[in-house]
Amino acid sequence: MLTILLSTATSVLFGCSDFLGGLASRRDSAFAVTANAHLLALAIVAVAVVAFPAPFSGADLWWGAAAGISGGIGVASLYGALAVGRMGVVAPLTAALSGSLPAVYDLLRGTELRPLSLVGLGIALVAIVIVSASGNAEERAEMPPRAIALAVLAGVGFSGSFIFFSLAGKSSGLVPLLAARVVSVAMLMAITFARRGRVSLAPDARTSAFSAGALDAAANITMLAAIRIGPLAVASVLGSLYPVVTILLARSVLGERLRPVQRAGVVLALAAVMLTAIR
């Protein structure tokens, strides 16, 4: 039950963070937004590590660093996709991958899932095709191929982050998360500076970006706890329910609308992550 509660909290926090990060990325570079958001998250996690110390090994640092690289690529890709595409399509497309791929990894490692959970993985793949489909020229302009490619890359990046965090020692506290943030901040700051010659944000993007960073830090803490308490398949899939929050915010704040077939795809994507979690 605790894994379910923590994973659900992760989804809510990630959903709000992604919405705000997407808004900020419409006002400034997705790399700059991600770098600054992760910088604030790094400060928050560092304070938490000092407040709650735990023993760790070199391997825990390496797995955390790997998660940071993968997660950093995932967040930057997601913010880029949210900036140029429709939030109501990008979010569930990313979630279908980030929820399913770690579950597949868990299966390959010998974790047993019920047939219904396997059906969920298949539905996730169908949902990706349906949600990514565009109709007329206007809709294709709102969901260009670049947005779809970035959303897929984001899903793969988040999947890697889930898997790498699961390989760190369960008694290492938040140290792997701190290592992840150190690496992601260094990587994203370097990329941002190389592309723009500066890492500062436009004034109208700062509030959304830093709010996204604070929420992202909280989401990663609950995610790491969920991964350690329960099976990776359950934690990763339920933690990928964040599109519900992102879509609701996009509809209420931005007034986004989906075609009937895309609504069906969204429903399938959300059903897929739920089915995959059933054990």
Q: Give me the residue spans of the domains in the chain.
A: 2-277
pTM of the model: 0.80
pLDDT value, residue 137: 56
pLDDT at 133 over 80: no
pLDDT value, residue 276: 65
pLDDT value, residue 174: 92
The whole-angstrom separation of Cα 112 and Cα 159 is 19
| Start-end of H helices in the chain | 2-25, 30-51, 58-84, 87-108, 115-132, 137-142, 145-167, 175-196, 203-229, 232-238, 243-249, 260-277
Which range scores top for mean pLDDT: 69-78, 90-99, 115-124, 245-254?
Answer: 69-78
The whole-angstrom separation of Cα 31 and Cα 199 is 9
Asked if residue 232 lies in contact with residue 277, where contact means CB atoms within 8 angstroms, the answer is: no
Mean pLDDT of the chain: 84
Question: 71-80, 125-134, 226-235: lowest mean pLDDT where?
Answer: 125-134
